[in-house]
Amino acid sequence: MKRQKSFTHTLSRLLLLAGLFLSFNLPAGIIYVDTNGDNYLTSATNFGKIDTSTGAYTNITFFSGQALGNLAFNPAAGNFYVTEGLTATLRTLTDTGSLSSSIGTIGKDIYGMAYRTSDSTLYAYDFDNDTTGKINPSTGAWTTLNASPGTRISSPIGGRLVLLNGSLYGSIYTVGNTGKFGTYGFDALTNFAQIGSNNDLFKNMVLATDGTTLYGLYADGNPGSQRLYTINPSTGVLTAGASIIGTGLGTYFHGAAIETSQPPPLPEPPSLVLALTGLSAMWATRRRKHRQ
């Protein structure tokens, strides 16, 4: 009888804890961004983070006189690759805002970077020459992969590429003043293949992903225009999320990335419910045996 009471008491506590867990939202995602004003070269670059649930921006630090663009996260090192200036000096940046010394000068006007962990490849787009290529993450040396992808990405600088599920996605602003979304061939970076219809929102959008959700961060230079979107990678359809607001937020985004080496998440609510259902079944079985 005492054992039955003890088991019943334990089960009640577990059910209470499950109820408390289910009543709270799971932790929000965080997108790290480079952001500043209209003039990329003279405005101080602010480095901060955005809560994907609320759109709240929190400034981490600012770099006076240093024009930083592009963010690509390296899970093995636990930091971001970032470029400085129009000749793109390659550096690393921690999530607390610690900027490394120069790794090397790429010598290109980089408008997007994406890091592939499987082979430590840092893909990038060179705006001035309309070329796609890869950057040696140890030296900054550039290797051209496609001399004519046919995109000619325009302003704002940086953040235009992202890797998700084996595909390299890009948001572009073409010479014809048209916004498009699509993919580049992954290994050779073949010509851009558009997904969905033209959408001018892509003209001023940088990309980020947590490995599951594809985010677009919009800012067109006007205060109050900043907004978070999710993008359907199969159709290119945009779904509007929260407005992005906060002290230190610039009027443009020049890079965005999400840390993908987070600790294992807490069990999902359905998993907890399944476990508790099993405990309930065990308790019922014990009661039946006791009555027999």
Q: The domain that contains 180 carries what CATH number?
A: 2.120.10.30
| 17 and 38 together in one domain | no
| 105 and 241 together in one domain | yes
| 110 and 150 together in one domain | yes
Q: Is residue 104 part of a domain?
A: yes
Q: Is residue 236 part of a domain?
A: yes
Q: Is residue 264 part of a domain?
A: no
Q: What is the pLDDT of residue 37?
A: 78
| Tokens 């199969």, residue located | 234
Q: What is the pLDDT of residue 258?
A: 97
Q: Is residue 108 part of a domain?
A: yes
| 166 and 43 together in one domain | yes
Q: What is the pLDDT of residue 131?
A: 86
- The total number of structural domains that make up the chain: 2
| 9 and 35 together in one domain | no
Round to whole Å and give the CA distance between 95 and 97.
5
Whose CA is closest to 114, among 261, 256, 263? 256
Q: Is residue 18 part of a domain?
A: yes
Hey, is 84 helix, strand or coil? strand
Centre a 10 Å sphere on the Cβ of residue 163 and count the other Cβ atoms it contains: 20
Q: Is residue 262 part of a domain?
A: no
Hey, is 256 helix, strand or coil? strand
Q: How far is CA 230 from the centre of its chain?
A: 11
Return per-residue pLDDT of the chain as tens, 292 residues: 544 545 444 444 544 444 433 333 334 699 999 998 766 666 779 999 999 999 999 999 999 878 899 999 999 999 999 999 888 899 999 999 999 999 999 999 899 999 999 899 999 998 888 888 999 999 999 999 887 776 776 667 788 999 999 899 999 887 677 899 999 875 555 678 899 999 999 999 999 999 999 999 999 999 999 999 999 999 999 999 999 999 999 999 999 999 986 444 444 444 444 444 454 555 555 555 555 5
Q: What is the pLDDT of residue 65?
A: 77
Q: What is the pLDDT of residue 68?
A: 92
- Domain holding 281, by residue range, is 2-24+270-291
Q: Is residue 274 part of a domain?
A: yes
pTM of the model: 0.79
Q: Is residue 84 part of a domain?
A: yes
| 204 and 89 together in one domain | yes
Dihedrals phi, psi of 207, to nearest 5 degrees: -120, 150
